[in-house]
Amino acid sequence: MTRDGRASSRDDRPSGLPSALLPLAALGLLFLMLPVAGLVVRAPWSTLPDLLTRPESLDALRLSLLCATLATLVCLVLGVPLAWLLARARFRGRAVVRALVMVPLVLPPVVGGVALFTAFGRRGIVGRPLDDWVGVSLPFTTPAVVLAEAFVAMPFLVIAVEGALRGADRRYEDAAATLGASSWYTFRRVTLPLVLPGLAAGAVLCWARALGEFGATITFAGNFPGTTRTMPVEVYLALQRDPEAAIALSLVLLLVSVAVLAALRERWLGVST
Amino acid sequence: MRRWAGVCAVVVVVAGCGGGSGTGAAGAEGDDLGGTLTVLAASSLTESFTTLGKRFERAHPGTRVQLSFAASSELASQVTAGAPADVFASASPETMRQVVDAGAVEGRPAVFARNRLEVAVPAGNPGDVTGLADLARPELRVALCAPEVPCGAAAEKVFAAADVEPAPDTFEADVKAALTKVTLGEVDAALVYRTDVRAAGSDVEGIEFAEAAEAVNDYPVAVLRDAPNRAAARAFVAMVRSEEGLAVLSRAGFERP
């Protein structure tokens, strides 16, 4: 995966690595992998094909992938400009804005769901006029799932892209400006390509977080098969009646997400050299 | 995912307390109790058990009652997974049976209260709901408990008895989640326990219906076999089943067993 020039010249160099870090790194990996290994060991492999092909599981999986992808798109459209604002614009209260962007990270997801009600629910700040005038009610719909996931996942994208923007060499942008490029052209053709790796990493984090989102989703979007029952919700309910099925379902979610991420990574690295 | 985090937190807390209660219980072999008592109870018991827990602490100074409320089915999986708790109070005999079958209960569970369903609507009843049949109206926002949790199983029974085909918009993971949506005014009606309607106060109105009698839930309570604080656990269960306990429970809307 890291055969191409850019990746290998930067990433594959163990020579300068302090050896004291190695055991800790191994311990870290073990810590992350042991629970997953536990799932793999406990999974009812014989019934896995059955569970996989059940229409409910497939519906939930399809919905999860769709909503996580849409949520990531929403985060990209709104989050990249926000990250740009935080990284490039100088204004009073920037520290406060940055802290506010992090709020969904610390908010318990269920509280996040209630917060979404207060904004977009039938009695919410935006939701009430939307319901009264347009007749649109968001809660308990598929768009509500996307909204809940985007709310929880967006900080991941913003942090990653902001970091990349801060790390990017601004002289390229200055040069573009000197050569007469408009600020919008510079942003599109110089800044964005510069921060593409950070953007990709942020999008992956965002997508992964959206895919696993449970608390805000089940609170704000509820749980209805086909429209709002995503895989994590399906797993949670399965846990109530059949823990083995729950393990199997979470493995499916795990495998699919790892497969998607691996495929995308291959692609990105291929393109970015 | 969040739920698992919650479970882990409970386990950590309980384990942490376990050490403390060990020494406490050792010093309390006689009549006086001590240490921490961990009670896992169904969500619908939140108000009454909180009251009972406080009274128990007052009656037995030095004992700390740690209450954990969640869907009975979730608590049952915590117990069978080995969460070190002392008392388990469930909203359904079926859920208790899972724990009994897993050999995690000391003696036999005792039914200490009964509960029945009511239709809960937001204050002012915006959907003009008058009874169970209204939950079939497709234009209404309706929340039901998921069939996997006791209140959902009870709901299925009353709908079958009333021959009503409900049109829910969401299946909630526990009864308090269903109630929250009524309190927030995000659904026009939900099927919850009578005790939940009463606990919600003025934000929620309750509508009784005859078929509720078809699905009266028994609430069993039991001391767990691996209870770290067995003496306090027994005393707590005795208190729940005493006249004092029954009075607290009936004030919350429960019926006598």
DSSP string, B215-231: GPEEEEEEEETT-TTHH
SS3 state at B67:
strand
- Assign residue A207 a region (left: φ > 0; alpha: ψ between -120 and 50; beta: otherwise): alpha
Q: Is B33 within 8 Å of B62 (Cβ atoms)?
A: yes
Identify the residue with better confidence: A237 or A4. A237
pLDDT number for residue A14? 56
pLDDT in tens, B104-121: 999 899 999 999 999 999
pLDDT in tens, A98-118: 999 999 999 998 899 999 999
As a whole number of angstroms, the distance between CA B119 and CA B135 comes to 9
Residues of chain B with pLDDT > 90, as a percent, come to 70
Identify the residue with better confidence: A5 or B102. B102
Instruction: Give the B-side interface with A, CB within 8 Å.
Output: 1-3, 71, 73-74, 77, 141, 143, 146, 148-149, 168-173, 177, 180-181, 184-186
pLDDT in tens, B5-44: 444 444 444 443 333 333 333 333 345 788 999 999 998 8
pLDDT in tens, A148-171: 999 999 999 999 999 999 998 889
pLDDT in tens, A244-254: 888 888 888 88
Question: Which of the residues B11, B99, B171, B187 would you substitute to probe the A interface, choosing the one with the greatest number of A C-beta atoms within 10 Å?
Answer: B171
Instruction: Give the A-side interface with B, CB within 8 Å.
Output: 108-110, 114, 117-118, 121-123, 137, 139-140, 212, 214-215, 218-219, 221-224, 228, 232, 236-237, 239-241, 243
Mean predicted lDDT score pLDDT of chain A: 87
What pTM was computed for the model? 0.78
As a whole number of angstroms, the distance between CA B131 and CA B126 comes to 14
pLDDT in tens, A192-234: 999 998 999 899 999 999 999 999 999 999 999 999 999 999 9
Bridge-based pairing state of the strands B204-207 and B142-145 = unpaired
pLDDT number for residue A12? 53
Q: Which residue of B has its CA nearest to A131?
A: B186
Asked if the Cβ–Cβ distance from B177 to A108 is below 8 Å, we say no
As a whole number of angstroms, the distance between CA B25 and CA B121 comes to 46
Mean pLDDT of the region A60-73 = 96
